[in-house]
Amino acid sequence: MSTKPAFSVLLVEPVELLRRTVSLTVRSLGSAEVTEAATYPTAQQVCNRRRFDAAVIAVDWPPSGVQCRGLTLIEQIRQGDCASTATIPIAVLVESCNTELLHVLRSSRISRILIKPFRVRDVIDTIDGMRTLAKGPAPAYGRDGFPLN
């Protein structure tokens, strides 16, 4: 049994195999309590009802349609429109990351960007890092979206 205090993470990933692999691995290692969401509407419902210490959210870029649902969810969290605090650490899962997406993610105060394919160990390390971020004082950010040191 793990001696680490419970650390609750929302994992939003539409690809079932990837979502289940990450979730089961993190749970088996006792790194965090993981709540899975296969769709963005489900994730939004869960976010409205339950507080999380961190989130790992898949982002499709470029957006299909008018908006990018992953970024919309992140924006809702950052605006305090969910049960979690607006400053929770958030990591994103992306297929690729260009300059435009990087700018958007920085302005959304993303803690980590994981580019697919990634190793499951990368997600575990990311969650461990987010646990450290969640314990410390909320970082200050400049107008450019970069953390102030």
Q: What is the DSSP string of 66-80?
A: SS-HHHHHHHHHHTT
CATH code where residue 127 lies: 3.40.50.2300
pLDDT tens, residue by residue, 48-100: 999 999 999 999 887 666 567 889 999 999 999 999 999 999 999 999 999 99
Tell me, yes or no, whether 60 lies in a domain.
yes
Neighbour count for residue 78 (Cβ, 10 Å): 17
CA distance 39 to 48: 14
| Cβ atoms of 84 and 47 closer than 8 Å | yes
Range(s) of the domain holding residue 52: 8-135
Look at the chain and report how many structural domains it folds into.
1
CA distance 78 to 73: 9
pLDDT tens, residue by residue, 3-28: 555 899 999 999 999 999 999 999 99
